Chains A and B, each alone.
Chain A
Amino acid sequence: MTIVDFSVVLIGALFGVYAICASIECGIVLKMLTRGPANRRLFSPLWEITNVFLVFGFTALAMLFNGALNDISRALTATLAVALVSLLVRACVVLAIFYIRGDEELPLWLVGLLALTTFLVPLSFASAGIYLLTGHLFWASWIGAVAGLAALSGLAGTGLLFVNRRSGSKSLALGEALAALWLLALGCALPLVSLHTANRLSHDSLLVLVVLAGLVLTAFLGKYVGLLRVTLWLPAAAVSLLAPVILGWANRPYLISGQLSLSSAYGAQTYGRAIIIALAVMLPLILLGGWLFWRLFNSQDATKT
């Protein structure tokens, strides 16, 4: 694996972690919407940590592939402006909900605004990712539309699986249905449409995605008919983590499909290795932090629910 390939995997993994965190946020706000303001404490301002993975992933992309910035700026300013505005509005709503309204009852429009902005930020970045994969904005091609549908159903489905992970319900709930739709789109429709439109995605890598999505779908089915007793959230999170990595890998040798190659865009020849070494040094600390956070979050979540 070359340093350029490793950079693709690294950036994909960072956006994968972001996708998991963002889907959890989406699940929580959907639950706040459907179950009323009593569920507000499921969400916490500390979830703003999600944005750090966003910054980290985007900074890694901008620094390692700095030769692509002009193309990205020209094509994606409007798309990513949606994320910028949503981030700001969302921060206003979070402050209003948690520090200004205190324990007052929340109006539906405020929770609705939180839900809308919570979805718009990752969807805006997913749209940017679709541009890298297809070379077109997401509404300009079939594959873009399918990928957009996959992103939306993935966020809602994985999020709902997370918030309902302790419910023990065997029925095919909305979360499972959305997650199944997501897996179908991501694992079957996206590769099929991609091969049909011949936009140069690597067949082998897409096969991995199809197999992975198929296995998780089988697990869903197994749980539905009562053959398996598994927590569906974890396999769904694994797909969220791996999907950006696999799709980025499948897009090689391009960064922007058909327009800009990875080698032309790569601009970190002098310090790429330094970044990888720094990451390797800090990874244990980040993993320790992630583990501690998860334990504390789970214990707090259990107390509140």
Chain B
Amino acid sequence: MDSVVLAARSLVADTLAFHLFFVLFGVGLPVMIAGLEGWGVFKKSSRARKIACSWSRALVVLFIAGAISGTIVSLQFSLIWPNFTSFAGKVVGVSFALEGFAFLVEVLFLTIYMLSWDKFKPLWHWLIGCLVALSALTSAFFITTVNAWMNTPRGFKLNAQGQPIDINTRQAVFSPAARTEITHSILAYLFTVVLCLLAVYAWMLWRRRLSASAKAVAKRLMLALAVVALILGLAVVLAGDQSGKFDAKYEPYKLATAEGLQDTTSGAPLLVGGIVQGSQVKDAIRLPKLLSFLATGHFNGTVQGIKATPANQRPPVIVHYFFDAMVAIGMITVAVPLAYLLARWRGWAWSHSRWLLGGLVACAVLGILGCEFGWMLTEFGRQPFAIRGVMKVSDAATRSRGAIALAEFFPFIYLILFALTIIGLKRGTKLQEALE
């Protein structure tokens, strides 16, 4: 692979990995803030509104880096991937444009929301918060339709020059992968944000620096957040199951590669763990017939193997690690809040022990990693194509050597920006004061 394409790939990988961290908060946090503020408005609880206000301050800090990385993503796609953006623009450009509209409304009203905490009546302020949340969800919806189309491109034919003709925008935007991909990703963002909020209060209790009244509020809040986390976690698991079944039908090469399944098999086993060697997964734990069941709903169902896909169109088997990591994280992050809820319900003494609180804090980090692994599975699972079956990554990239310099330079600034965001969150949000 030539150095420009490699640079373009590493640049977009760095940017998207960095941006995703902020995207999930940009989508999930407004929903949670609107939920809590709504509770405060209808139950006339000033404390709930105060806590929602502290969360919104965190949203602004995260928004700074998120808006910048989002701006850079949109510019990079045009500058570094001009062939891809030109092709995709003709077919699903409407999704990019509508995402832009939604993003504009989101940030415009987020700004108004932040400036008007003490200026509007609570109901009006909450309605503005709802608009921010709705715009965030709409923005995520439309941009995910583009990725879904890249995985299962529909709604056009190719002419002799390889350009799209007979374009059907509706078919392209609502491609087969759209439903499962949108549901799975947005639910995962919401789940991760709830885990992060839970972790913040678990961390405060872990440090043991709260007053008695603040501790009581934190515990009540954690109980509510754990219930929401459990509901969302189970929804993510169900959406993941649907994604697996979808992959078996529409993207079988991805599922086969993720499981290292060589030949088309009935009653295929699920491989857990193991080491990737060449195109195979060695030393994995084999759970008989489970892959068939997960993929088809039948223990003896047939699952297509890697060999059914031409050798030059197969994704790298490294996606097995991403798949396993995502699933394992999903299980752990559902189990820990469940354990916390059980302990609270049964009144067990260890419900606020340091190890369980530490486990809840770890779940936040794991949740973020789970989202990253999920997207890595999606992106690596489409290789070597940028648009599956239509345009290879090597054909999509720029020929400008400027991309190399950017690829070497950008990761360092991302690291600095990330560190400053974390420090800014710690100093600028005053989450603890809101509990007092």
Q: Which residues of A approach B to under 8 Å, CB–CB?
A: 45-46, 48-49, 51-56, 58-60, 62-64, 66-67, 69-70, 72-74, 76-78, 80-81, 83-85, 87-92, 94-96, 98-100, 102, 267-271, 274-275, 278-279, 282, 285-286, 289-290, 292-293, 296-297, 299-300
- 7 interchain pairs, CB-CB under 8 A: A46-B115, A76-B79, A88-B72, A95-B421, A99-B424, A102-B427, A282-B101
Closest Cβ–Cβ distance, residue B185 to chain A (whole Å): 21
Question: Which of the candidate stretches B208-216, B296-304, B410-418 sits at the interface with the other chain?
Answer: B410-418
With a CB–CB cut-off of 8 A, which chain A residues contact B80?
Answer: 73, 77
Residues of chain A within 8 A (CB-CB) of B258 are: none
Min CB gap A77→B, angstroms: 4
Residues of chain A within 8 A of B68, CB atoms compared: 48, 51, 87-88, 90-91
Q: Is the CB of A99 within 8 A of B428?
A: yes
Number of B interface residues, CB 8 Å? 65
| Bound: A269/B97 CA distance, A | 14
Instruction: Say what secondary structure dominates the interface of chain A.
Output: helix
Flag if B112 contacts A293 (CB, 8 Å). Answer: yes
Q: Given the known inter-chain contacts A74-B400, A84-B406, A293-B108, please indicate yes or no for A99 contacting B115, CB distance below 8 A.
A: no
- Which of B44-52, B84-92, B369-377 contacts its partner? B84-92
Query: Which B residues from 86 to 117 make CB contacts under 8 A with A?
Result: 86-87, 89-90, 93-94, 96-98, 100-101, 103-105, 107-109, 111-112, 114-116
What's the nearest-Cβ distance from chain B to residue A73, in Å? 4
Select one of B98, B111, B169 contacting A49, CB under 8 A. Answer: B111
Task: Tell me if A80 and B399 are in contact (CB < 8 A).
Answer: no
**Which residues in B have their C-beta under 8 angstroms from that of A46?**
60, 111, 114-115
Main secondary structure of the interface of B (DSSP, over half): helix
Whether the Cβ atoms of A270 and B416 lie closer than 8 Å is no
Does B420 lie at the interface of the complex (its beta carbon under 8 Å from any beta carbon of A)? Answer: yes
The closest CB in chain A to the CB of B155 belongs to A270
**Complex Cα gap A55–B71 (Å):** 6
Taken together as a complex, chains A and B put the C-alpha atoms of A80 and B427 apart, in Å, by 33
CB pair A271 B94 closer than 8 Å? yes
- Residue among A73, A76, A78 facing the most chain B CB atoms (10 A cut-off): A73
Contact of A100 among B82, B105, B109, B423 (CB under 8 A): B423
Picked from B64, B77, B399, B423, the residue with its CB within 8 Å of the CB of A48 is B64
| Contact, CB under 8 Å: A271 / B64 | no
A257 to B78, CA, bound (A): 20
Inter-chain CA distance A60–B93, complex, in Å, is 9
A275–B403 CB distance below 8 A: no
Q: Select A45's contact among B64, B82, B402, B416, beta carbons within 8 Å.
A: B64
Let me know if B413 and A88 touch, CB within 8 A.
yes
Interface residue? B398 (CB, 8 A)? yes
A80 to B65, CA, bound (A): 19
Since A73-B79, A84-B410, A289-B105 are in contact, a sample of 8 more A-B pairs with Cβ atoms closer than 8 Å, ordered by chain A residue number, is A55-B103, A62-B74, A62-B89, A69-B78, A70-B82, A78-B400, A84-B406, A87-B71
For residue B428, which residues in chain A have a CB less than 8 angstroms away from its CB?
98-99
A72 to B80 alpha-carbon distance, docked (Å): 10
Tell me the smallest distance from the CB of A124 to a CB of chain B, in Å: 10
- A58-B78, A77-B402, A289-B112 known; A99 vs B427 contact (CB < 8 Å): yes
Q: A55-B103, A88-B410 are in contact. Are A100 and B424 (CB under 8 A)?
A: yes
Known contacts A99-B424, A99-B427, A102-B427; decide if A78 and B402 are in contact (CB<8 Å): yes
By the criterion CB–CB under 8 Å, are B115 and A63 in contact? no
Residue of A nearest to B102 (CB): A282
- Interface membership of B61, Cβ < 8 A: yes
